[in-house]
Amino acid sequence: MASRPEGLLSLRWSDIEGATVDATHANEALASLPEGKLALNRLKVLLQGGRAVELELEAGASFLGFWNALKMVASLRHA
């Protein structure tokens, strides 16, 4: 579930097409923060139908782990 101004959004695993990081956010983190990739905290979840939802998560290893898990879910859908 994701919190947003309109309320909570529930996503089904089967709706997830992929996950990515906004290029601007990634470039800023990699260029200006000493933590680099570990400073990322905004993840874009790509959904069926071309929709996307952006999540703000705790930066660090847990962020990278969640990102990889979502990419794995998406790859299993297409296997």
pLDDT digits (tens, 9 = 90+) for 19-37: 999 998 888 888 877 778 8
Looking at the structure of the chain, the number of domains it has is 1
On whether residue 11 sits in a domain, the answer given is no
Lookup result for tokens 């905004």: 42
C-alpha dihedral sign at 47, 52, 57, 62: positive
**The pLDDT of residue 29:** 80
**Structural domain for 27, as ranges:** 21-78
Tell me the pLDDT tens digit for each residue of 55-65.
Answer: 999 999 999 99
* 79 confidence band (pLDDT: 50, 70, 90): low
**The pLDDT of residue 37:** 85
Distance CA 50, CA 46 (A): 7
* 38 confidence band (pLDDT: 50, 70, 90): confident
On whether residue 12 sits in a domain, the answer given is no
